[in-house]
Structure 1
Amino acid sequence: MKLKFDAWQTILILFIAFACQSKSEKQSLKESAGFILQESDLPEYEENIDHKGLLEALGDRHGESMRTGEHIYTNTCITCHGDPEQEGSLPTAFKFWADTFKVGNDPYAIYQTLTRGHGAMPPQVNLTPVEKYDVIHYIRETFVSKENPTQYFDINDDYLAGLPAGTSEGPAPREYKPWAEMDYGNFLINTYELVDADAPPRERSTGPVQPLPDEDFGDANFAYKGIAVRLDPGAGGVAAGNAWMMFDHDLMRVAGAWTGEGFIDWEAILFNEKHNISPRTVGDLHFENETGPGWAHPETGTYEDPRLMARDGRRFGPLPRDWAHFKGLYPFEDRLIISYTVGKTEILETFGLEILGDQPVFTRTLNTTASDDLLKMRVAPVGTTVALTGDGALLEVEDDFLVINVTPNEPGKVKLFMAAPGVTGLDAHARSSAPAESLAAFTKGGPARYPQRLETSILPGQQEGAFQVDILNPPFNSPWKNQLRLSGLDFFKDPNKAVVCATDGDVWLVEGFTENEQSLTWQRIASGLFQPLGIKVIDEEIFVTCRDQIVRLHDFNGDREADFYESFNNDHQVTDHFHEFAMGLQADAEGNLYYAKSARHAREALVPQHGTLLKVSPDGKRTDIIATGFRAANGVCINPDGTFIVTDQEGHWNPMNRINWVEEGGFYGNMFGFNPPADSTDSGMEQPLVWVERERDRSPSELLWVDSEKWGPLNGKLLNFSYGYGKVYLVPFEKIDGQVQGGIVELPLPRFATGVMRGRFNPEDGHLYLCGLSAWGSTQPQLGGLYRIRMTGEPVNLPVGIQAHKDGMLLTFTEKLDESSVQNLANYTVATWDLLRSRKYGSKHYNEKELTITAAELGPDQKSIKLKIPEIEPTWVMEIKYQLESEGGETVEGLIQNTIHQLGGI
């Protein structure tokens, strides 16, 4: 069956209209106001809003408006902005209680900033006009009037009369929770805290001094690699259920079981965008097991946890492989089969739900192969109501736990029944229940869970110039309400087909790239994964980087949907901290895999993998740390010489964003990393290729080498993608005495509707395909998108070479330049400044200078320019603005932002 969706989301349509504007039109609008979205990009209802009426109504609605505004601020705005007592996660964000408004301090001006976005402030597309004025009212009356009175604007009749006239209040406010409405399938892997209904509030450390202190989570029951499985029947997946079991695949334990309405509280960075928090279970916790190995060591019989102990006393990472090893998941219709080993014993396990009177009974069915190991498993603490049926194990009590002892040298097939303390009649219920079943039949592939093929339209780009952008629409109106925050893509040997992953847990098979110019077909082939942020096709097999593991997907029955989610590598050291994303996925010629893992935000690392570049062996059995000292490393690029490029984001110990040319063993600056070097000075770290100012890009993502003859003079060059601003940059560079240095130049393209995360060149058509998302800290309005950049053959007119000489800068362009325009010194400005690297977040500018250019000479190739700059010296940041003409009379203007570590040349 094919479903065709032509009703695109409003924001997508608006973005397309924006993308089709000419560059000059958009640029003039942007420069005049500084807004991210223009009026033509907004929903139609914004043209008829009764701003006067909404502001006048605040008097009558004061209490309601303040409550709503406070709710919005504390659930959305405070994350970045903070409040007078608690600094936000983005210390450079506007402080309403101290700063001077940039756009205007009146309510309508603030409304424009909320609606259209400005600078690093993204447009708040999910808020209705009423909600925007409610949060404005709260900010004005709570922060501005009391703490920053000179910025408080008094509303009077003349001001109200001058506001745009309208008759509508816009759409009715509704609580927008796409994360809770999505059908993730019947399981979802994440980090969860298991709590009962009367659990005390979370402990969350705050304060202006960084790093923040660690909370005391010694008694908390976190499943860091928690597989939440829905047990009750019904549509809607795990989020729509009423009964669940949690399996922790670090420890091979059932962490607990619960029932209720709501599944979890959705408090997390990729759900409701809350920072510094992990989701908690919601409802009644019927039983739980403490954080520790679920199975005893198969040789010693001990449950003593041997894993790495972090600074806060907790232990992280998987159990040793010779103790227990997670092999993967077999989804089969609405059930899930978990595969793992204990010692040499193969185990298959599934969960179920039965009812005894009005009480839920949770079941575990286990199939074990024959083994001479000593096998015993903790079922639940003494006091939990437990029964056992089947052959191959006995239920006993040991050290305040109910345990099963597996019969040696015999295959086992048992069924455990667990209920809350005090439930009676469980033994009789167990005897009358269906017996333990063989699970092998469910490991060979079952009916497709997502048989639909979703067709979406391709909107061809019509931009003028060297580049055209096609919009490849994801299926925004899918039957599963997917958010489609696309985080990785790669092509098969058949270049018409690609796989795309989404950070919400999905993997999609997409067809139509080279054989159909009008539409794509999307098939959901996997779901429920833990924050996928990278994907790679190797020998036609699909590998996905998740926060908890690298997954290899297997299709056993030819329907293309994944029947086995193999845990190819699960050495990942996962904690509860929101910031430790596992980013990107690349492979070298030997089959080694590489991904980057971010560090904790504003805190010291707990585990060695925090803030690292990681290498996984071709067989998946070994993980090595290649480089350290990263803060928020968004992906990895493998260079032709075997080195790497890893980007990093502005923050503590990062005065600005940085693009790092990475050598094995290097340390890249984040002193909050695990066991950093003693030398915290700048000389104690490897220097970046370039420091990237937030005005250019607030969050660089992954880099990619151009591999396409269709890209003409850019073939073989280096590109950088912008998650923060939805842009693409060219990265010209040079290497002097082993140090790589260079800069970034923005491609002449409109901003994409999402941040740009990953890119791949299609080997057949030679075009660049990009995927992107907006989730944490992006300024872009759309949740997810897929794009294609085509070269038109028109002149590119971009600088592809940059060299810092002792007497100036040498720039090399793609096309020949007009000599008279090159020699006119009024066509250039060169500015430099320094940054200060410290434990503080980011850095202001120091030692700002505008350098004098004494001459500009066109080289014999007519493509290179030598700018003579007597005052030139190494600098953290240089910006070169140029406004030239090509040999053919075309305008050649732009900006290079670069870093100079050493001066070479003559």
Structure 2
Amino acid sequence: MNVKFTAWYIPIIVLLFLACQKRTDKVSISDAARSGFILQESDLPDYEKNIDHKGLLQALGDRHGESMRTGEHIYTNTCITCHGNPEQEGSLPTAFKFWADTFKVGEDPYAIYQTLTRGHGAMPPQVNLTPVEKYDVIHYIRETFVSKENPAQYFNIDEDYLASLPEGTSRGPEPREYKPWEEMDYGNFLINTYELVDENAPPRERSTGPVQPLPDEDFGDANFAYKGIAVRLDNGPGGVAAGKAWMMFDHDLMRVAGAWTGDGFIDWEAILFNEKHNISPRTIGKLHVENETGPGWAHPETGTFVDPRFLARDGRRFGPLPKEWTHFEGLYPYENRLIMWYTVGEARVLETFGLDSLEHQPVFSRTLNIEPAEGLLKMRVAPLGTAVALTGKGAALAEENGFQVVNITASEPVKIKIFMAASGVSGLEEWAQSSDPPASLEQFTKGGPARFPQLLETNILQGEQEGAFQVDILNPPFNSPWKNQLRLSGLDFFRDRNKAVVCATDGDVWLVEGFTENKQTLTWQRIASGLFQPLGIKVIEEEIFVTCRDQIVRLHDYNGDGEADFYESFNNDHQVTDHFHEFAMGLQADAEGNLYYAKSARHAREALVPQHGTLIKVSPDGEHTEIIATGFRAANGVCLNPDGSFIVTDQEGHWNPMNRINWVEEGGFYGNMFGFDPPADSTDSGMEQPLVWVERERDRSPSELLWVDSEKWGPLNGKLLSFSYGYGKVYLVPFEKVGGQVQGGIVELPLPRFATGVMRGRFNQDDGHLYLCGLSAWGSTQPQLGGLYRIRMTEKPVHIPVGIQAQQDGILLTFSEKMDESSVRELANYSVATWDLLRSRKYGSKHYNEKKLTITAAELGADGKSVKLKMPDIEPTWVMEINYQLKSEKGDEVEGLVQNTIHQLGEAAAI
């Protein structure tokens, strides 16, 4: 018996069966939809309107064993993460407990089916589960948990119930392996790092082993387009992933790296797609044209093709060619065309690609509009043996050092078209002469018809949590017509705070409206696509800047329809290699207009380029890039401090015994000896110390920090927040500065865990609320792919420490509200433990020198908020954890934990 499973491929499947009204009949389900379902009936695929629910439920008896196996597989591979089981609580304490809780939608199978199908609250609709799979997991839950542990909630299926179900004749589509990265419509192009290979290429070699750093592979002969723009050439829906023919342009070198055809685009082996580590995607199919890695145009003064770029340790060269040689200016998407603009010397070049056919063989074309300037213009087309032809005036083909090249012979504007086909295709030159003349490309640079005309509307689920914070779920359009994964990685507001831009690491930028209108809906417009892993976004003077792995892009809308008509390469100094780990994270700007982002290093390997593991500054005009701090491993974003310094987080790994939050000064080295040109001193004294070492139990992976800038946040206004990508949490960061060293800790805000990791945040200056976006990828434990959230602070007390001081005789904690003195003085209400870590080339660290400190006295200060814990044995430590169980002045329970680091002890002071 063959059983196909799809659910375990779907990270977004989170069976959070959350609140709706209790179902008693079909009308109540419809009422519930209006009050909480994400999708309306009109949003569902047509097959959902003709499902034979009665037949599917009746069939469960005949296929009980198969259904239970399928349901168990879905539950144990996805659902258990959040929901857990009776023996082990899931990662989301608020997730529905089938063995104990009362169903709020309704306990019957059809009601649960509606929740799965249409989504509700924090649970997106499970559009990738087939009807059969939905009933399989429902069957497993009912028979495994509900009937045995929660029988009062077990719904008995009888003939009357079956007769009441909607009638239909279909069981929906067959279960299949779901690969959302393949099905998404990225638009007609997608920028990424690609390896170009012909069909039947040998398997890739990747170094492994227990000893780090891992040795470099021999990629000297590999054809990587590190900044590859893959362009679909054939017509049809679905974007680049659904094509049959493509051209690859490398904007580091201004070369066509290759052209290929086939039944599939790439093999999707990459962390962005199928989450495979240590690998880059390869082309699949027939590679008809290929150019080796090297400059596509000769130097305009010397005529040489010799590559002058940075030479890495492994013999490869990385980064863009010098600007005086050639410079990539950006892209003009126009319907299904893509126009590239770049310069060679002072000459301006517009270029686009096309596809024709000669006797059933594909012919690839390059149309170029060139405005010559002083200097030599010579372009490599393809190796000798490739079929090549040229039409247009002012240029000629020639042979040089094993390549066919085009020499621009005219001094006036030139329009030419180059045709290329595989070796062995004959008659190309004669055929080309009968083709259409080279087109004028300027007409496609002014803005064209909207490529994504649909405006999508989503609901805002208003949070009603008790306590100091309420969290609103601002659902992204999970059911978009382009099948976007919506892994949201950055947001920022315009001057009109009702509008924001949101980027997604899958390549999209969205214009979102409705934040401050209080209409409980948002409107989403897709305004850009195909970008290379955007992980930061910033609005500067109403212009949109996006941090991508290959460049900082500035988006321009020329015709006022909201969509970007020009993707300007504001800065493309990025040194990109094939390594999966070198993310470009975050984007901030200072008052002078300088931009800042962080670039991660290679994982378990030594750096190849100077930018690996750095904090990078870009000048206001985009012309200059400067490395201002080094030694990071996986730096997830940057926070710009009021004093001009920075905060950059880093992740546990090699030379990082634990996660760290770094208060960064220019010129500092922050510990990763696998970085480029590290200092000779590998001891702890040879690096800058972090503000705090963050244990994995507290935060598996910190992301970006943000200063609170809202009077509505009361005692937290002006304080520092840290976001957790690893656990979907938000922390406060109390800190102090002793002897020039910043030190402090983290305190978790009393919020429910988010369904995604939290990546970026911005305060809205109109409503004073905090907006967050997040994603789950890169091996995250969080269950949902992407999310957008709003945190509103109520007038209720928050009851957390907002200040910390390490003194020679103990710790001083300052709480947000006044505390009850009797509970403060009770020593049994505290416990304090410390331990050290060992920094080495090994991954992470176990605990060393574990101690429990004795508290001899606890005092409440005159302000009623300061609590001094006197500890005679206190000393500097890598990690301290302070647990407390107190009462507020008004009798509220105040329980929590501070995890902090002490580098130096300050002077003892009375409170």
The TM-score, its normalising length taken from structure 1, stands at: 0.84
Partner of 1:299: 301
Partner of 1:753: 755
Partner of 2:863: 861
Partner of 1:898: 900
Q: How does 1:9-20 map to 2 (within 5 A)?
A: 14-15=15-16, 17=18
Paired with 1:16 and 1:886, the residues of 2 have a C-alpha distance of 35
Q: How does 1:760-839 map to 2 (within 5 A)?
A: 760-839=762-841
Instruction: String of CA shifts for 1:534-565, please: whole Å, max 9, x gaps.
Output: 00000000000000000000000111110000
Partner of 2:197: 195
Q: How does 1:130-169 map to 2 (within 5 A)?
A: none
Q: 1:720 aligns with which of 711, 719, 722?
A: 722
| 1:214 pairs with 2:204 | no
| 1:648 pairs with 2:671 | no
| 1:332 pairs with 2:323 | no
Partner of 2:613: 611
Q: Aligned-pair distance for 1:425?
A: 1.6
Paired with 2:375 and 2:658, the residues of 1 have a C-alpha distance of 55
**Structure 1 letter corresponding to 2:555:** L
Q: Aligned-pair distance for 1:778?
A: 1.5
Paired with 1:111 and 1:332, the residues of 2 have a C-alpha distance of 51
| SS of the residue 1:763 aligns to | coil
Instruction: String of CA shifts for 1:362-391, please: whole Å, max 9, x gaps.
Output: 000000003221110000000000000001
Partner of 1:413: 415
Q: 1:180 aligns with which of 176, 179, 182?
A: 182
CA distance 1:677–1:240, change in 2 (3 Å): same
CA distance 1:112–1:559, change in 2 (3 Å): closer
Paired with 1:713 and 1:655, the residues of 2 have a C-alpha distance of 33
Paired with 1:553 and 1:649, the residues of 2 have a C-alpha distance of 31
**Structure 2 letter corresponding to 1:246:** M
**Structure 2 letter corresponding to 1:784:** G
| 1:738 pairs with 2:740 | yes
Q: 2:681 aligns with which of 679, 687, 690?
A: 679
| SS of the residue 1:430 aligns to | helix
Q: Aligned-pair distance for 1:115?
A: 14
Q: Aligned-pair distance for 1:690?
A: 0.3
CA distance 1:439–1:129, change in 2 (3 Å): closer
Contact 1:371 1:408 in 2 (8 A): no
CA distance 1:873–1:570, change in 2 (3 Å): same
Q: Aligned-pair distance for 1:127?
A: 9.9
| SS of the residue 2:354 aligns to | strand
CA distance 1:713–1:443, change in 2 (3 Å): same
Contact 2:319 2:576 in 1 (8 A): yes
Paired with 1:129 and 1:890, the residues of 2 have a C-alpha distance of 48
Partner of 2:494: 492
CA distance 1:688–1:113, change in 2 (3 Å): closer
Paired with 1:302 and 1:49, the residues of 2 have a C-alpha distance of 72
Paired with 1:589 and 1:367, the residues of 2 have a C-alpha distance of 39
**Structure 1 letter corresponding to 2:803:** G
CA distance 1:19–1:130, change in 2 (3 Å): closer
Contact 1:54 1:130 in 2 (8 A): no
**Structure 2 letter corresponding to 1:464:** E
Partner of 2:878: 876
Q: Which moved more, 1:742-751 or 1:166-175?
A: 166-175
Contact 1:774 1:784 in 2 (8 A): yes
Q: 1:279 aligns with which of 278, 281, 298?
A: 281
Contact 1:703 1:719 in 2 (8 A): yes
Partner of 1:120: none
| SS of the residue 1:429 aligns to | helix
Q: 1:444 aligns with which of 443, 446, 456?
A: 446
Q: Aligned-pair distance for 1:162?
A: 9.2
Q: Aligned-pair distance for 1:457?
A: 0.3
Instruction: String of CA shifts for 1:681-717, please: whole Å, max 9, x gaps.
Output: 1110000000000000000000000000110110000
Contact 1:372 1:408 in 2 (8 A): no
Q: Which runs of 5+ in 2 are unaligned?
A: 1-9, 22-52, 96-122, 135-146, 158-170
Q: How does 1:590-601 map to 2 (within 5 A)?
A: 590-601=592-603
Contact 1:627 1:665 in 2 (8 A): yes
Paired with 1:12 and 1:474, the residues of 2 have a C-alpha distance of 15
Paired with 2:225 and 2:771, the residues of 1 have a C-alpha distance of 36
Q: 1:392 aligns with which of 391, 394, 397?
A: 394
Q: Aligned-pair distance for 1:427?
A: 1.4
Q: Aligned-pair distance for 1:438?
A: 0.7
Instruction: String of CA shifts for 1:145-179, please: whole Å, max 9, x gaps.
Output: xxxxxxxxxxxxxxxx9999999999975312000
Contact 1:344 1:371 in 2 (8 A): yes
Partner of 1:317: 319
Paired with 1:116 and 1:210, the residues of 2 have a C-alpha distance of 41
Paired with 2:791 and 2:871, the residues of 1 have a C-alpha distance of 37
Q: Which runs of 5+ in 1 are unaligned?
A: 1-8, 21-43, 78-93, 95-102, 118-122, 133-160
Contact 2:275 2:779 in 1 (8 A): no
Q: Aligned-pair distance for 1:56?
A: 12
Partner of 1:711: 713
Contact 2:11 2:783 in 1 (8 A): no
CA distance 1:439–1:699, change in 2 (3 Å): same
Q: Aligned-pair distance for 1:517?
A: 3.2
Partner of 2:697: 695
Contact 1:724 1:777 in 2 (8 A): no
Q: 2:206 aligns with which of 204, 208, 215?
A: 204
Partner of 1:90: none
**Structure 2 letter corresponding to 1:623:** T
| SS of the residue 1:674 aligns to | coil
Instruction: String of CA shifts for 1:657-684, please: whole Å, max 9, x gaps.
Output: 0000000000000000000001111110
Q: Aligned-pair distance for 1:201?
A: 0.2
| SS of the residue 1:820 aligns to | helix
Q: 2:268 aligns with which of 228, 243, 266?
A: 266
Instruction: String of CA shifts for 1:152-209, please: whole Å, max 9, x gaps.
Output: xxxxxxxxx9999999999975312000000000000000000000110001110010
Q: Aligned-pair distance for 1:53?
A: 6.8
CA distance 1:113–1:786, change in 2 (3 Å): closer
User: In the comparison of the two structures, how many residue pairs are matched?
Assistant: 806
Q: How does 1:547-696 map to 2 (within 5 A)?
A: 547-696=549-698
Paired with 2:519 and 2:502, the residues of 1 have a C-alpha distance of 19
Instruction: String of CA shifts for 1:449-497, please: whole Å, max 9, x gaps.
Output: 0111100000000000010000001000000000000000000000000
CA distance 1:113–1:788, change in 2 (3 Å): closer
Paired with 2:93 and 2:895, the residues of 1 have a C-alpha distance of 31
Partner of 2:39: none
**Structure 1 letter corresponding to 2:856:** T
| SS of the residue 1:756 aligns to | strand
Paired with 1:750 and 1:728, the residues of 2 have a C-alpha distance of 9
CA distance 1:517–1:413, change in 2 (3 Å): same
Q: Aligned-pair distance for 1:211?
A: 0.6
CA distance 1:234–1:598, change in 2 (3 Å): same
Paired with 1:560 and 1:401, the residues of 2 have a C-alpha distance of 44
CA distance 1:850–1:559, change in 2 (3 Å): same
Paired with 2:12 and 2:591, the residues of 1 have a C-alpha distance of 42
Partner of 1:537: 539
Instruction: String of CA shifts for 1:714-749, please: whole Å, max 9, x gaps.
Output: 000000000000000000000001100000000000
Partner of 1:851: 853
Paired with 2:744 and 2:857, the residues of 1 have a C-alpha distance of 22
The TM-score, its normalising length taken from structure 2, stands at: 0.84
Partner of 1:153: none
CA RMSD in angstroms, aligned pairs only: 3.4
Partner of 1:475: 477
